[in-house]
């Protein structure tokens, strides 16, 4: 089945760049906003209403016969961080970085990320919206559990060269913690504890987290890898409901004062029977990176995009889905 999926994907001509061009207002980074009552809303948030995403495109210069997963893309769309168990790093799982010079070019120039990897496991890295704080999950010694969340406050944006990671205060336990994601306002940390989704909140962007609770309404046998749009109105994650494998799910809410609604499966073309993991909403809000299980425990990284047509006379509203 997995080989058939790869063959069908390679021969598919339905690469949905039309939708990407139609919502070009979303593609200039995730920090563009437009008025929506008293709050501000990400430009691409309206497209997460019963969304259909394009057939997946592999990141061919990133993927290897080893495992690639847990992506994070910077706001300019030109730098991608990911985890891999390929040979060449100091640990069994390490963090790598890939770059490109233009949004229309593929990622390449893959190098081992500086300043973060150890002889232990580092399962990816995420950054705050200003690039001055980095989070990772690792089984390095110094935390209370077998896997803990770690944070580094950086001297320069996205520069891990001289980073010093410390356990995240008030969050780690003797249970395993994975999959950190920090909201754009730097006040909410989403993460996975023992395959259940949690969030930790704080009152100031650089203060300690003071409240840690399961995310309400997310009732799955196993779930992880939350990411959100910049306005935190759309959340995606991978989850399994009494079935083998996992899928990408999404949930929405009207404002950050509300709870997320009931999760729904994200429809991704040509992926109905494929195990999907590690979704990450890029800062543009209309692009999703994820890993797909190819065989056994090996995964490759792919990118998909929201399919939508915009009626510009009505503003940024979905008028039809591409067929």
What is the pTM for the complete model shown?
A: 0.85
Q: Write down how long the chain is.
A: 323
pLDDT score, position 47 = 85
Please report, for residues 179, 185, 249, 323, the alpha-carbon distance to residue 124 in angstroms, rounded to integers and kept in the order given.
Answer: 8, 21, 21, 35
* Beta-bridge partner residues of 105: none
Give the pair of three-digit tokens for residue 317. 């509203």
| Interatomic CA distance for residues 45 and 36, integer angstroms | 11
Q: Are 254 and 306 in contact (CB under 8 A)?
A: no
pLDDT per residue rounded down to tens, the chain (323 residues): 444 445 444 444 333 333 333 333 344 333 333 343 444 567 788 889 888 899 999 999 999 999 999 999 999 999 999 999 999 999 999 999 999 999 999 999 999 999 999 999 999 999 999 999 999 999 999 999 999 999 999 999 999 998 999 999 999 999 999 999 999 999 999 999 999 999 999 999 989 999 999 999 888 889 999 999 999 999 999 998 755 578 999 999 999 999 999 999 999 998 877 889 999 999 989 999 999 987 776 899 999 999 864 444 444 444 333 33
The CATH number that domain 2-316 falls under is 2.120.10.30
Domain ranges of the chain: 2-316
Q: 214: closest CA among 197, 193, 192, 189? A: 197
- Is the Cβ–Cβ distance between 121 and 93 less than 8 Å? yes
Question: DSSP per residue over 241-299, as a string?
Answer: SSSSS-EEEEEE-SSTTSPP---EEPEETT-TTS-EEEEEE-TTSSEEEEEEEEETTEE
Rounded Cα–Cα distance for residues 70 and 199 (Å): 18
C-alpha 263, offset from chain centre: 16
3-state secondary structure of 4: helix
Query: What is the rounded CA–CA span in Å between residue 183 and residue 304?
Result: 22
């Amino acid at each position: 089945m997995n080989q058939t999926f790869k063959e069908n994907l390679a021969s598919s001509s339905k690469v949905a760049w039309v939708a990407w061009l139609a919502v070009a207002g979303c593609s200039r980074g995730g920090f563009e906003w437009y008025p929506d009552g008293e709050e501000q809303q990400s430009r691409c948030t309206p497209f997460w209403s019963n969304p259909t995403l394009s057939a997946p495109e592999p990141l061919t210069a990133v993927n290897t016969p080893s495992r690639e997963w847990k992506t994070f893309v910077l706001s300019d769309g030109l730098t991608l961080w990911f985890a891999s168990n390929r040979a060449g790093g100091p640990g069994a799982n390490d963090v790598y970085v890939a770059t490109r010079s233009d949004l229309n070019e593929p990622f390449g120039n893959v190098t081992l990320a500086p300043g973060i990897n150890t002889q232990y496991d580092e399962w990816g890295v995420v950054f705050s919206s200003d690039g001055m704080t980095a989070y990772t999950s690792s089984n390095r010694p110094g935390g209370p559990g077998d896997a803990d969340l770690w944070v580094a406050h950086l001297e320069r944006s996205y520069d891990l060269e001289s980073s010093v990671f410390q356990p995240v205060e008030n969050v780690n336990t003797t249970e395993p913690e994975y999959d950190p994601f920090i909201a754009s306002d730097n006040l909410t940390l989403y993460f996975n504890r023992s395959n259940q989704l949690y969030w930790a909140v704080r009152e100031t962007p650089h203060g300690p987290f003071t409240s840690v609770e399961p995310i309400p309404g997310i009732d799955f046998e196993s779930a992880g890898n939350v990411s959100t749009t910049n306005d935190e109105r759309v959340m995606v994650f991978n989850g399994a409901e009494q079935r083998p494998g996992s899928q990408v799910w999404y949930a929405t809410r009207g404002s950050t004062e509300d709870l997320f609604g009931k999760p729904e499966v994200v429809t991704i073309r040509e992926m109905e029977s494929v195990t999907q993991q590690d979704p990450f909403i890029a800062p543009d809000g209309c692009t999703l990176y994820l890993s797909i299980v190819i065989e056994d425990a090996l995964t490759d990284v792919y990118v998909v995009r929201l399919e939508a047509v915009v009626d510009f006379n009505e503003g940024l509203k979905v008028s039809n889905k591409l067929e």
